[in-house]
Amino acid sequence: MSIILGINETSHDASVSLIKDGEVLFAGHAERYSKQKNDWYVNDSLIQDALSYGTPDHIAYYEKPLLKASRLFIRGGAGDWKPKFNIPGVPRKSFSHHYSHACAGYYTSYFNDAVIVVLDAIGEYNTSTIWVGEGEKIKLKYKQNYPVSFGLFYSAFTKLIGLMPNQEEYIMMGMAAYGDWTRYYKEVDSYFPQYDQQKYNFHKGIYDWQTIITEQDRFDIAAAVQMVYEQRLNQFMRMAKDLTGKNNLVFMGGCALNSSANTLLWNIFDMIWIMPNPGDAGSSLGAAAALYGKHLEWKGPYLGYDMGGKYPVQEIVDGILKDGIVAVATGRAEYGPRALGNRSILADPRDPLIKDKVNLIKQRELFRPFAPVVMAEHASKWFDMDFESPYMQYTVKCLQPHKIPSVVHEDGTSRVQTVTIKQHRGLYMALNKFYLQTGVPIFLNTSLNIKGQPLLNDEQDAIDWQAHYKYNIVMSPNSSVG
């Protein structure tokens, strides 16, 4: 019997995971306990919650601190390399950044034979790696080092158009739908002409760009960046398939959060697995999995703080039919950046005004899109897809946009979350009740938070929310916080 505590800190989204003999007991984000968005370091509240599930025999750390320190000293770049947390007397082992990513993906997958691609801004030195997973073994086949980087390319342009790098890349992805990619394509393409070539170190930003004059400039640049990224990703993934001969893909690293680009990968691979927390926060689980060295018992992403309670199925349906919008906080928090039903705002997708209403509640830009969550067996009738997407990882064309306008983006697409009764019985049953009354098996689903703040995590968060905002939080049948 062995309990392993996985740690990720000194990055832009610290986290902790705990596994016991391959079973994932806990996984949570530091920011949701400290209330500091993208917190770099773990905290006592997070650690105490994790340790309530067991006392670790081993600690696994998600990267090699001294190797990272050498890169910071020799090659430059931003960051911290000194981990803060330790338990005296508990043996500790560190794994490389990209290997932790690879283990998080492969060992939570249902594959025993796959190519594993890791793309992010930067680990210690690696920025792009290709691995082969066969049985319980993972072997490195290819690597590209700093400063050549998919992630730094995307983040540098995120900063150029006035957004926060390492945090708001997803906003730029959404902005691309409003832009004309042809207007700035040649300029953007010159910075990243091939996946292994680039104009300069993107860590320094885009410092020789012409002046951005209008809001439309920002949208057009975003569209061009997204197009170039998709083309380079396509090239890299085809190389990965040719190099390994594998038809199954595990995709990890921060770049795996680009849902618009991810959909194109179905043109290359037969099956795809993207763990619901593919960025750095997922690497606390990856480090633990690396030390365990075998596939984990993956049951789903509901692994964080436990608010308890039975899922409030009837209250959700009644609230949406009455007010159009309901906030939900119940059970265990999601591990990953996206709310998947337990810390969510759910709303009626049929109302064309709901999108603006929810954006105003969340204090976001009005152009920002929202995801639909749909009963899996109905997904292909409403969206152009023949695969499941339980973690909002793919953006596809909506087939009936006139019926669900609040979950359709400017370009006619939707970032779909599919749900089965096995994946989340309560959310599925709520959708089914709504479907029986309306003929629509879909809710709008977005995270329960305000822009710039972490997802709500615990009972005090729910009390604070209800003290400031109109919509009460449904927790369990016949009860609410406050």
Sheet of 394-397: strands edge to edge?
Answer: 394-397, 413-419, 371-375, 442-447, 343-347, 325-329, 473-476, 479-480
Distance CA 186, CA 284 (A): 39
- The DSSP code for 470 is S
Q: How many structural domains are present in the chain?
A: 3
CA distance 242 to 246: 8
Same domain, 189 and 268: yes
Q: CB-side exposure of 43: number of CA atoms within 13 Å?
A: 15
Write down the pLDDT at residue 265.
97
The full DSSP string for 89-150 is TS-EEE--HHHHHHHHHHTTSS-SEEEEEEE-S-SSSEEEEEEEEETTEEEEEEEEETT--H
- In-domain check, residue 104: no
Q: Is 206 helix (H, G, I), strand (E, B) or coil?
A: coil
Q: Quick check: is 436 in a domain?
A: yes
- On whether both 242 and 295 belong to a single domain, the answer is no
Q: Are residues 115 and 221 in the same domain?
A: yes
Is the separation of the CB atoms in 383 and 398 below 8 Å?
Answer: yes
Q: Is 430 found in the same domain as 404?
A: yes
How far CA 417 is from CA of 32, 156, 318, 341, 389, in Å, comes to: 23, 29, 22, 10, 5
Three-state secondary-structure class, residue 345 = strand
Evaluate if pTM is beyond 0.85: yes
Q: Same domain, yes or no, for 438 and 466?
A: yes
- Residues 82 and 230 both lie in one domain: no
Assigned domain for 224 exists: yes
The domain of 83 spans 1-96+279-299
The predicted structure's pLDDT at residue 475: 64
Burial of 201 (0-12, 13-18, 19+ CB in 10 A): middle
Answer whether residue 120 is part of any domain. Answer: yes
Angstrom distances, CA of residue 76 to CA of 67, 72, 198, 201:
13, 5, 17, 10
Cβ atoms of residues 415 and 371 within 8 Å: yes
- Both 115 and 88 in one domain: the answer is no
Separation of alpha carbons 385 and 358, rounded Å:
26
C-alpha separations of 258 from 14, 47, 168, 356, 426 in Å: 20, 30, 12, 23, 28
The answer to whether residue 103 sits within a structural domain is no
CATH of residue 133: 3.30.420.40
Report the distance separating Cα 133 and Cα 69, nearest Å: 29
- Tokens 């770099």, located at residue: 40
Do both 402 and 310 map to the same domain? yes
Same domain, 192 and 340: no
Residue 267 and residue 316 in one domain:
no
Residue 333 shares a structural domain with residue 309: yes
pLDDT in tens, the chain (482 residues): 599 999 999 988 999 999 999 999 999 999 999 999 999 999 999 999 999 999 999 999 999 988 888 888 776 666 677 888 888 999 999 999 999 999 999 999 999 999 999 999 999 999 999 999 999 999 999 999 988 999 999 999 999 999 998 889 999 999 999 999 999 999 999 998 876 777 778 888 898 888 888 999 999 999 999 999 999 999 999 999 999 999 999 999 999 999 999 999 999 999 999 999 999 999 999 999 999 999 999 999 999 999 998 999 999 999 999 999 999 999 999 999 999 999 999 999 999 999 999 999 999 888 889 999 999 999 999 999 999 999 999 999 999 999 999 999 999 999 999 999 999 999 999 999 999 999 999 999 999 999 889 999 999 999 888 877 766 677 655 444 43
Q: Both 168 and 67 in a single domain?
A: no
- 417 Cα distance to chain centroid: 13
Q: Is residue 101 part of a domain?
A: no
Domain membership of residue 13 (yes or no) is yes
Cα separation, 297 vs 20, in Å, equals: 10
Q: Which CATH number fits the domain that encloses residue 330?
A: 3.90.870.20
Which pLDDT score, from 0 to 100, does residue 76 have?
64
Residue 396 included in any domain: yes
Token digits of residue 25: 């007991």
